[in-house]
Amino acid sequence: MSSPQDLSGSSGKAARTAFEGRWNALHGVRTLCAVAARALTTAAVGR
């Protein structure tokens, strides 16, 4: 038997986890872009 508090707590936790997952994915993409841009710049300067 679960109380309404448990229900809201678990749903809030799920929402927070989903948000963190999306944020981490976005951060990963931005990091990847930064690394790629740096590699391209280094290659251009090296030539």
Domain ranges of the chain: 1-47
At 46 the pLDDT is 84
Per-residue pLDDT reduced to its tens digit, 1-47? 555 555 556 788 888 899 999 999 999 999 999 999 999 999 999 87
Question: What is the residue whose two structure tokens read 């090296």?
Answer: 46
Separation of alpha carbons 1 and 6, rounded Å? 10
Q: Given this model, what pLDDT does residue 12 score?
A: 82
pLDDT value of residue 2: 54
Helix (H) or strand (E) holding 46: helix 4-46
Count of other CB atoms within 10 angstroms of residue 2: 8
pLDDT of residue 3: 55
Q: How far apart are CA 31 and CA 15, in angstroms?
A: 24
